[in-house]
Amino acid sequence: MTATPDEFRDVVARLPAGVAVVSLRWRGSVHATTVSSVASVSLDPPLLLFCVHADARLREALDDVDLWSVSVLADDQAATADWLASAGRPVVGQLERVPHRQAPLGGGVLVEGATAWFECRTSAVHPAGDHDVVVGEVLSAVPGAPAAGGLVHLRGRLRPVR
């Protein structure tokens, strides 16, 4: 017996998940999306993973681009998370309302005010149901302000954590 997608969604929503923005540069534009599936994989070598819907534009871009950035959102960045998770937002201009800077290694952008930033190079992509698991070698890991809290997704809502 297997849980239905609705049963699974209802129960897994009780698992707090950190919220981050993954971005990359593809075909002359920065593509960014909100994810709540970032995890540390290994310390040696340093590896990080995130999951992305198999049909997402960002997933398509990963077939051509191997450098990407992760901004771990701070407790006051729910509006950024909501905007970059909204369906149908345009690629061109999507970051105009989000304070950001170019990632030093060129893999996307870093959201200003985040609690941490990573720059990664894809080392593996694994199909997993309707999502793909993207594993990246961490090229750069930078902490944000020491007092910054985090943002978690829990029971269908974004919640600040201090």
Contact yes or no for 134/125 (Cβ under 8 A): yes
Query: In this model, does residue 106 exceed pLDDT 90?
Result: no
State which residues form the domain around 147: 18-155
Asked if residue 10 belongs to a domain, the reply is: no
pTM: 0.95
As a whole number of Å, the CA-based R_g of the chain is: 15
The pair of three-digit structure tokens given for residue 145, joined into one six-digit string: 């302000």
Q: What's the structural domain count of the chain?
A: 1
The pair of three-digit structure tokens given for residue 131, joined into one six-digit string: 């999502």
Asked if residue 162 belongs to a domain, the reply is: no
Look up the CATH number of the domain holding residue 134: 2.30.110.10
Asked if residue 1 belongs to a domain, the reply is: no
pLDDT tens digits for range 115-152: 999 999 999 999 999 999 999 999 999 999 999 999 99
pLDDT tens digits for range 21-78: 999 999 999 999 999 999 999 999 999 999 999 999 999 999 999 999 999 999 999 9
Query: How far is residue 162's CA from residue 35's CA, in Å, rounded to a whole number?
Result: 20
The pair of three-digit structure tokens given for residue 68, joined into one six-digit string: 């990407």
Asked if residue 5 belongs to a domain, the reply is: no
